Homo-oligomer: A and B are copies of this chain.
């Protein structure tokens, strides 16, 4: 009394081979588009595969080849616009190359969390690693755990020991500040991102250097954390010292939104009373009040190049070790000539 349809196990290579009247190896050859298989045989096999709804078992294949066709992405803050866009780009580029990108998001401030994510990725058997985590700590942990897995990091820290692809945050920041200077501003503040983020640091440096290059005063940097909430808090405080500056370079667009909110409540008009430049060019930035002048990053391009770099490394092709994508200034309505003389 056997139960015939109990757990109808999925078809494997031998099932296909039997139905097509060939050996399993021939089926394997058809799948891998390998070498010499006659057209007649190929068609028979393909028909059999279709009929059985056959799908190769990736685990078995990985075991036999020691290759998983998996790309690991170690990411933090995946809820943010930047990382999310990046993930999307990476996934698509990977897929085009026959790879599958598996992502794990970690808390960039916790070494345990990072280590746990790395371990998972390693156990999955990823062939290479993309680190999308703007905190230096993530990179360190990843590096120490990854043995000699090919690895590229997406940041602008310019560490020489890892391949990097990055938006050139430093030039982006200079671009933003220069735009403000060219509009006639001399007292320019900077609201930066949280400590530990390499992007934030690069933007601070760009801000400083551009001001100094023009012989202008560098203010104490105002500490932010990327969130619009903090932008609002900072903006509320800044509103009281409005006579100290005429322009602000803000390290990201979200913070600008909060800042704008605070300024509006304080009766400060942008750009009449103070000019603002952001960073990111969120899809919403064109609809801020006023529409925001900001720095656009091409995340899609960054993701694409990161995958390309990794694939080169995997296939042994020599390639550039450090790529920078230059961001662009997008002019909208948040910058005007200063109306006050300080």
Contacts and interface: CB of A to CB of B under 8 A. Distances in A.
A90 to B, nearest CB: 11
A79 B85 contact: yes
A84 B91 contact: no
A78 B68 contact: no
A287 B88 contact: no
Contacts of A264: 289
A150 interface: no
B78 A291 contact: no
B102 A120 contact: no
B79 A91 contact: no
Given A100-B124, A123-B58, A291 B68 contact: no
A91 B105 contact: yes
A304 to B, nearest CB: 15
A124 B102 CA distance: 11
A320 interface: no
A207 interface: no
A260 interface: yes
Contacts of A88: 78-79, 105
Interface stretch (A166-174, A182-190, A197-205, A225-233): A225-233
Most B CB within 10 A of own CB, among A59, A227, A261: A59
Interface of A: 10, 53, 55-60, 62-63, 68, 78-79, 81, 84-85, 87-88, 91-92, 95, 100, 102-105, 119-120, 122-125, 147, 227-229, 231-232, 254, 257-258, 260-261, 264, 283-284, 286-289, 291
